[in-house]
Structure 1
Amino acid sequence: MRVAILETVKADGGFELEFDHVIIETLKEEGHEPILFLPMGTELGRDLHVPVCELEGGPIVSYDGAGRLKKIWLSLQRERRRVKWFDAMAEAVVRERADVVLLTTATYRYLRALKKSALHNSSVPVCFIFLGVNPQEMPKFLQAARSCQPYRNIHLCVTTLRDDFGVQRPDNVRLIPPPVLSLSDTMVKEEGDTLRIGFFGHYRKGEKKAAWFLRAAEEGTFTRSVHFILQAAPTTAQDQADVEALVEAYRANSKITVLTEKLIDTAWYEAISSVDVLFLPYTAERYLYNWSALYFTAIGFHKPVITTDVLNPEIMAAFDVGACVNMDNFEAFLHGVESFVNRFSERKEHYAEQLQEAAEKYSRANFIRNLLALRNH
């Protein structure tokens, strides 16, 4: 099957690009022929080893550095261009003989543009992939989804671990589990004498999670050797100064490494592979509804986690892949980390079995098969 992937988000090494990469590689493994479609002039910064076609309609609109008023104008410009990209995609479907179109990180706003474009009458199935729908978005999502019900080839796929729709779910909406985010040639590192725990992400000023992570390395009472790796990639000039101070403060601590660079493509895979455990301390309510890319990376790489009971709790309810820690109180948090580390050797085989089961349930192949099953829905 010739599968067209349409990407309209500026993604320089971010999640969107990695999600596209995983989908493309899995399509190939499943015997399909993926083709990537991008607005004209888009630079990915990496080769996804797939044919790339450009679409008329103007370049991708970025919000980088924009203030509140400029963002309003840019959002209007982005929607107008989205209509043009969808129009161009409707023509490309015929020209490139595509069998199905995938839009990999959609929002309900995409459906507004869809209705104004020729793509809503596509001759082949078009699947919009949503990364979860939270309660605040639900009314707008349902309104947009229902307005697309007359379009027989438009399918809305919500990747989620839970059903928050119930009887309200329109018949053009399907729910499927997200995929693990790793490739078949994932590098595997055997656990050494030192347990390496990694916390990866962008640095944000005043982030207690990063501070507690480093304090745990300094203050924890561990019965084995440990090493804590913190990625603190700054996004602003002020963050840069904070990160430099962080590096200087912990330079002499042999238990801690602070990484300040972005990790893209092979460097990202190598960083995840180099640790034994991933620290996922997220507590925002949205993580009840939106699946965590890093959690599904951990499962894909068969890495146990130290996490919270807010982050995708359905995973830990089904599979014992690590420990949940208290992020409300540092002493309770520290106790949780100490307990996990000091019992790791006796539980690592159990974690390995549970991670294998989770990886099979959320496999990339299952995800692609579920997606393409929409074609006959």
Structure 2
Amino acid sequence: MRLAIFENIMTPGGHEVDFDRILVEEFQQSGHEVSFYVPEGFEFSFDYQVPVHYLQGEVVSYSGVRGLKKIWYALKREQRRLGWYSQLRKLAEGGAFDALIVPTSTYRYLRAVRRSSLRKSPVPIVFILHGINPGEAPRFLKAAGQLADCRNIRPVVLTFGQDIFGETRENIRYIYPPTYTPRDLIDYCPKKIEAPLTIGFFGQYRREKKLEDFLEVYLRAKGQFTREVRLLVQGATMHPEDSEDFERIIARYRGEESIKFLHKGLIGREWQEAIAGIDVLLLPYSAPRYRYHWGGMLFTALGFKKPVIASDDMNPEVFESFKVGETFRSGDLADLQRVLTEFINGYGDRQGEYETGLQSASETYSPAAFARRIEKIIEE
């Protein structure tokens, strides 16, 4: 089967890049031909080693734009999207591909389909949504419902249930998200735990993650640890204000020998080697959105088979199904300190239980299983 991916989100790195890589490599592994369709001027931050075809019309970004100008840019962006949809419809009619996947969608993407000729696509089109929060749920359900008669328009929500806050529509599919795995590390296996135990705080740095609060908890708990521990804090920053704040934190804790900072965006093999080099992943940030959107770092931990310490609002369904680590009460720093201390000191006794849980979770949420679920939706 010839599978096309319509990508229009330009990003310097991160999980969006790896998500596209899952689609490309897992479908190729199953014997499918994969290609990209992107707007003119689109620049990839990773070479997926597949054909790339360009559509007329550049990406319109309103990042940093405010007021009436932002409204104008939003309207322009919608018109540009309709133009891409029209071109994709013609390509589908001409037999350019057998199915199309839109890897990162929102209700706006579906709303635009209703106004475009793409709604009558002759081939299946899979719109993947990476979770639905309460605020956008009514708009998503409305947009999906209005496309119920468009048999080849197939909205797919990455989630752990089979409804959206108790509601559903016949044309919405629900599937598990995939793990991120060490694709470039040949013969990878989780490293044997030795002294010191290395724990890692990874990902894009944003102030909402309250890194300083966690560092203070770590330092208080450190005096209660019964084994030597090292902490690696890696942060990639997208905005100048976040970069400045992260550098301020690095300067403040420069004298702490057990803490190492890495202010750098990591991608591909370099990112995988950094994750492979730690023993435990810490996900201490709390935000309501983690209940509705799958956690990229949590699914990195599962793919690399690393136990985690996470807030209890981080995809609770995963922790209910598999023993992959420990959780603390969201926003409760005292409980975080307690859980961190108990985890570190009791790790030797629970290591086997974590390994079993991680193995089961990595199989359930594997990229191969994810690709098979998408493939099944296409073949309906």
Q: Which TM-score applies when normalising by structure 1?
A: 0.94
2:39 matched residue in structure 1 = 39
Question: Amino acid of the residue matched to residue 235 of structure 1?
Answer: M
Give the whole-Å Cα distance in 1 for the aligned partners of 2:45 and 2:292. Answer: 31
Give 1:208 shift.
6.3
Is 2:303 the partner of 1:304?
A: no
**Residue in 2 that maps onto 1:219:** 220
- The Cα shift of 1:75 comes to 1.5
**Structure-2 residue corresponding to 1:15:** 15
Structure 1: distance between partners of 2:69 and 2:164: 35
C-alpha contact 1:217 1:227 (8 A) present in aligned 2: no
Moved more, 130-139 or 232-241: 232-241
- The number of equivalent residue pairs is 375
**Structure 1 residues 238 and 9, CA, compared in 2 at 3 Å: closer, same or farther?**
closer
Is the partner of 1:91 in helix, strand or coil?
helix
Match in the other structure for 1:359: 362
Query: Is 1:345 equivalent to 2:338 in the alignment?
Result: no
Q: Which residue of 1 aligns with 2:2?
A: 2
Q: Structure 2 matches for 1:180-191, cutoff 5 A?
A: 180-186=179-185, 187-188=188-189, 189-191=191-193
Taking the aligned partners of 1:264 and 1:96, their CA distance within structure 2 comes to 35
Opposite residue 197 of structure 2, the aligned amino acid is L
Contact 1:284 1:310 in 2 (8 A): yes
The 5 Å alignment of 1:28-177 reads 28-56=28-56, 58-95=57-94, 97-165=96-164, 168-177=167-176
Q: CA deviation at 1:307?
A: 0.5
2:289 maps to a residue whose letter is R
Identity within the alignment, %: 39
**Could you tell me which amino acid in structure 2 is paired with residue 117 of structure 1?**
S
Is the CA contact (8 Å cut-off) linking 2:290 and 2:314 kept in structure 1?
A: yes
CA distance in 2, matches of 1:317, 1:59: 44
Contact 1:323 1:340 in 2 (8 A): yes
| Residues 74-111 of structure 1: CA deviation (Å, up to 9, x unaligned) | 21111111111111112223446311110011111001
Task: Tell me if the contact between 1:111 and 1:144 (Cα under 8 Å) persists in the aligned partners.
Answer: yes
Distance 2:26 2:213 in 1: 37
Give 2:258's aligned amino acid: K
Distance 1:167 1:194, change over 3 A: closer
For the Cα contact (< 8 Å) 1:214–1:228, is it kept in 2?
no
Structure 1 vs Structure 2 CA RMSD: 1.9
CA contact (8 A) 1:217 1:256 kept: no
1:371 counterpart residue number: 374
In the alignment, residue 204 of structure 1 is paired with which amino acid? R
In 2, the alpha carbon distance for the partners of 1:363 and 1:273 equals: 18
Task: Give me the TM-score of the superposition, normalised by structure 2.
Answer: 0.93
CA contact (8 A) 1:22 1:182 kept: no
The offset of 1:166, in angstroms, is: 7.5
Q: CA deviation at 1:339?
A: 0.5
Aligned ranges for residues 195-274 of structure 1 at < 5 Å? Answer: 195-205=197-207, 207=208, 209-220=210-221, 221-274=224-277
Q: What do residues 40-60 of structure 1 show as CA deviations (whole Å, max 9, x unaligned)?
A: 11011221111111111x111
- Kindly state the Cα deviation for residue 184 of structure 1 after the two structures are TM-superposed: 4.4
Cα pair distance change 1:254/1:350, threshold 3 Å: same
Q: Is the 8 A contact 1:106 1:131 kept in 2?
A: yes
Counterpart AA for 2:6: L
User: Does the 8 Å contact 1:40/1:55 carry over to 2?
Assistant: yes
Residues 238 and 136 from structure 1, CA distance in 2 versus in 1: closer, same or farther, beyond 3 angstroms?
A: closer
CA–CA distance in structure 2, aligned partners of residues 125 and 325 of structure 1: 42
Matched residue type, 1:349: G
Is contact 2:212-2:249 (8 Å) kept? Answer: no
